[in-house]
Amino acid sequence: MFQKIFYCVGIVLIFTGCQRASAYLHKAIMPESGFIEKAERGLYEFREANYTAAQKSFQEAIAIYRTVEEKPVVSFSNLTRFHYDGEGYDKVLLHNYNALSYLMMADLENAMVETRNSNRIQNQEYEKYYRQIRKFKTESEKYAAVMDRYEALFAKVNPKHTPYQNPFAYYISALLFEEANQYEDAIIDIQKALECDSQSPLLKSKLRDYRNKKKKTGRRIELFFDIGKSPAKKQIKMPVKSGDDSKKPLYLPDFTIYTAAVEKIVLVDNRGKKVQEATVLSDIDAIKINEFRVKIPSLTEKYIRESGKELLVNAFSKESAIAGVLAKTASTIYGQNNLYTWRNLPKYIEVISFIPEKETSYKLLLLDRDGKKLDQMKLSIKCHNCLKNCYHYFRVDNAHFITSNMKVKK
């Protein structure tokens, strides 16, 4: 009984504008985010080249979101505790990194499984994305005030970048098909990647090679780069009109976008000649912000609907219905106060792909916007004997090469 009273008082305080009560109830009812913890741990281990441990953490994160997805809509555990099971882009990138970890260990079969899972989720989330756009398009003026609040944020990312159609995911899949000599399937995935970025020189070159089944003069080197830091979440409060025309406090996430010092990653040979510039295949800033942009109307509508006065009246007058009402209300609060985010995701994922010439050494350069060299690294190529191509990963942050899975010299 006392627990019910506590929750009801908390809900009233929330709806009357007490942010501290909102945060406390959020912590009391819905603090669990094992998905994020496992995903972050997996990425850390991946960056340390501890691929066996990374795969274990990634698989645990995958198991968490799948368990939540498979739960019945009406479940006793859902009335008392809510798990954050990840946004759509979280799941796509989780499978991408897991595929890379398998690839680094030359486990092509499991790597391919992960790319299939990634592509399946991309298609599912892509459909959800456009269903939300269609559903709220006719009522866009209703949410204009909320959308205006984020105008400056939206202006910082490419609005044409569609979430979940991630070229990097298709690129990894194409590489795996190439390893298996399944060039027709590799062509299909590169074409899907080109639908996201039709002007990419890297993707156009890959498509030509796969179509021609060009005989290579050596093993191709595939270099993957994580650049910078993805947007961080925080909470903001704004008043919105509810069903009775009164104003209620709406709690929504806001995002801090970090500026990367690195403008370009360039590969040069020992004569100083530019060989290739890294290509962005995943703009995570745009993925996160554009996905949130589409969700704003549904979050606002849900809050207005669930926070109406009649809901509170029913909650207090109908003892038997209180658990269900609390669950709905808690779910609404959870949706607004959702500050969970995969914090160690990069700002961009970039790729360089080239075939080295004999008797030639290579160097990577980090350049700022003015073309000034921030850092450099000599490549010491190390290939896995079981693979056709060579794959290497780098972390770039604070204008420096931080880690990689290969021996390098400054």
Where is average pLDDT lowest: 183-192, 195-204, 209-218, 271-280? 209-218
Predicted local distance difference test score (pLDDT) of residue 336: 44
| Segment 192-213 mean pLDDT | 91
Q: Give me the pLDDT at residue 239, please.
A: 74
- What is the value of pTM for the model shown? 0.81
Band of residue 101 on the pLDDT scale cut at 50, 70, 90: very high
β-bridge partners, 253: 235
pLDDT at 312 over 60: no
At residue 130, does pLDDT exceed 70? yes
Beta bridge partners of 363: 268, 378
Secondary structure of the chain in HEC code, one letter for each residue: CHHHHHHHHHHHHHHCCCHHHHHHHHHHHCCECHHHHHHHHHHHHHHCCCHHHHHHHHHHHHHHHHHHHHCCCCCHHHHHCCECCCCHHHHHHHHHHHHHHHHHCCCHHHHHHHHHHHHHHHHHHHHHHHHHHHHHHCCHHHHHHHHHHCHHHHCCCCCCCCCCCCHHHHHHHHHHHHHCCCHHHHHHHHHHHHHHCCCCHHHHHHHHHHHHCCCCCCCCEEEEEEECCCCEEEEEEEEEECCCCCEEEEEEEEEECCCCCCCEEEEEECCCCEEEECEEEEEHHHHHHHHHHHHHHHHHHHHHHHCCHHHHHHHHHCHHHHHHHHHHHHHHHHHHCCCCCCCCCCCEEEEEEECCCCCCCEEEEEECCCCCEEEEEEECCCCCCCCCCEEEEEEEECCEEEEECCCEEC
Calculate the average pLDDT of the chain. Answer: 79
At 26, the pLDDT band (50, 70, 90 cuts) reads: very low
pLDDT tens digits, residue range 29-58? 444 568 889 999 999 999 999 999 999 999
Kindly tell me if the per-residue pLDDT of 200 is higher than 70.
Answer: yes
Highest mean pLDDT of the ranges 111-115, 139-143, 148-152, 194-198: 111-115
Average pLDDT, stretch 320-333? 47
Tell me: pLDDT of 149 over 70. Answer: yes
pLDDT at 349 over 50: yes
pLDDT band, residue 385 (cuts 50/70/90): confident
Higher-confidence residue: 294 or 301? 294
Give Dmax over CA atoms of the chain in angstroms: 83
CATH number at residue 137: 1.25.40.10
CB 28 within 8 A of CB 82: no
The pLDDT of residue 218 is 75
Interatomic CA distance for residues 60 and 37, integer angstroms: 10
Instruction: Return the pLDDT at 405.
Output: 55
- Give the model's pLDDT for residue 270: 92
Distance spanning both ends of the chain, measured CA to CA:
66
**Top-confidence residue, 229 or 319:** 229
The residue-averaged pLDDT of 72-94 equals 60
Total domains in the chain come to 1
Q: Which of 131-140, 183-192, 226-235, 292-301 has the lowest mean pLDDT?
A: 131-140
Mean per-residue pLDDT, 171-195: 94
Candidate from 51-60, 159-168, 379-388, 397-406 with smallest mean pLDDT: 397-406
Q: How confident is the model at residue 82 (pLDDT cuts 50, 70, 90)?
A: very low
Q: How far is CA 166 from the centre of its chain?
A: 10
- pLDDT of amino acid 108: 95
**Range of the structural domain that residue 166 is part of:** 2-409
**Planar angle of CA 69, 281, 209, nearest 5 degrees:** 115
